[in-house]
Amino acid sequence: MEYRIEHDSMGEIEVRADRYWGAQTQRSFGNFKIGTEKIPMEIIVAFSYLKEAAALANFRLGKLDEKRMKLISTVCEEIRAHKLDDNFPLAVWQTGSGTQSNMNVNEVIANRGNELAGEKLLHPNDSCNMSQSSNDTFPTAMHIAAVCEIEDKLIPSIDLLVGTFKELEAKYKGIVKSGRTHLQDAVPISFSQEISGWRSSLERDRELILRTIEPLAELALGGTAVGTGLNAPAGFDTESAKAVSELTGKTFVTAANKYHALTSKDELVFAHGALKALAADMMKIANDIRWLASGPRDGLGEITIPANEPGSSIMPGKVNPTQCESVTMVAVQVIANDTAVGMAASQGNFELNVFMPVMIYNFLQSVRLLGDSLRSFNDNCCVGIVPNREKMHENLHNSLMLVTALNPYIGYENAAKTAKYAYNENISLKEACVKLGFLTAERFDEVFHPEEMAKED
């Protein structure tokens, strides 16, 4: 392998000749060989937006010439086109400010830009980091990445599954089944009503997640090292936020208080809480579906779901609810990530939080996992849900909780006696009610209509 010599304020160091990174990236790459977790590519893409936006702002404010601004813009476009992915090798487990990743991007932009120009026009610090600090760029990249991934990846996945549930509601309207509370038989519910609960949960989660966008859209850029804006020209913060908005097509604004923006990460904690709410609902929905599909003969068996792959290496013909299991494992991971995000956010000592890489790694993993799992769950499971009408009817009419319909006619206590007698004698509610003398057989038939108990619109 061929190497070239790069240098920084600490001296010279060898760098792979086929990579655009420089000395500071190389030192971090050598000093933090920890784990396999790398700075997410979503953060690198976010950096490309903010670096181009900073160059545009510096140009508009008269600090950077047009030629250098355009070079920076060109390389940032290449980064977003994923032409330079191999140039961002750094571990999550690096400096807590993300300084080394900021410099990684600066060095790649500078070296690639100089290659394109055929002369040395860009300097990693003086050109690519102009009017910036790692302390305001990394939190800015975090917010840009969070907003883009939520809006572009997660929300469409939620909408996809919501749409499927709406279709299932309409398709299976009118099918009445036994409800269940505490894992025990309860009064009737229609299958479409049950599905509507799943759908409504996702719609509420979507609403809550979107409420987090406005605070996430506030950017720290312009605060520089400690929030004072040292070495940044007047108006750089608002001009750079405007440029980020232009480049992303989304609305970003400069943070009102840069001291807060650098040290507090409450916006990400708030947003991840909404992600955790979605994970909790997905756990519930996936569990409902696999319980309803349990069997095929010795479980509830009220629905069937697609048989995607063999379920056992020893039991022939066995099929398992694998998509449900995948969703529930994702939910566990997201809920665990929430602890990491919250703990990391609590470590904002004085003027800077120094747990930012681990925080955004977990945050973006949650968004990515939820988006992917929702889509997989939709495509490989939910679209293929089919009710077992016969089993639903059988379970409904076998439920002792249908006795609730008799409360207005024989009273709560007599209804309870009827249910207990039917259970102990293994007879129907009608037989029990008649034997106990609470209603005649004819009167029972007049008032007992299980399908009407669901009160479906």
Q: Which positions are catalytic?
A: 182, 312
* 142: helix, strand or coil: helix
Q: Three-state SS across 220-263?
A: CCCCCCCCCCCCCCCCHHHHHHHHHHHHHCCCCEECCCHHHHHH
In the chain, how many H helices and how many E strands?
18, 10
Q: Do residues 333 and 369 lie in contact, with contact meaning Cβ atoms separated by under 8 Å?
A: yes
Helices of type H across 346-385: 356-380
Q: Do residues 432 and 425 lie in contact, with contact meaning Cβ atoms separated by under 8 Å?
A: yes
Listed residue (247, 210, 273, 338) closest to 53, CA to CA:
247
Listed residue (312, 287, 311) closest to 300, CA to CA:
287
Listed residue (257, 237, 271, 252) closest to 345, CA to CA:
271
286, two tokens? 């996936």
Distance CA 361, CA 344 (A): 11
Say if residue 419 is exposed, middle or buried (CB neighbours under 10 Å; 0-12, 13-18, 19+). buried
- Helix axes 41-60 and 99-117, enclosed angle (nearest 10): 60
Residue 234's contacts (CB-CB under 8 Å, 6 or more residues apart) are 61
Cis peptide before 89 (omega within 30 of 0): no
The torsion angles phi and psi of 439, rounded to 5 degrees, stand at: -145, 155
Distance CA 2, CA 205 (A): 52
Q: Do residues 264 and 255 lie in contact, with contact meaning Cβ atoms separated by under 8 Å?
A: no
Distance CA 259, CA 308 (A): 52
Distances from the Cα of 450 to the Cαs of 169, 179, 191, 427, 442, in angstroms?
20, 12, 14, 17, 16
Distance CA 440, CA 447 (A): 11
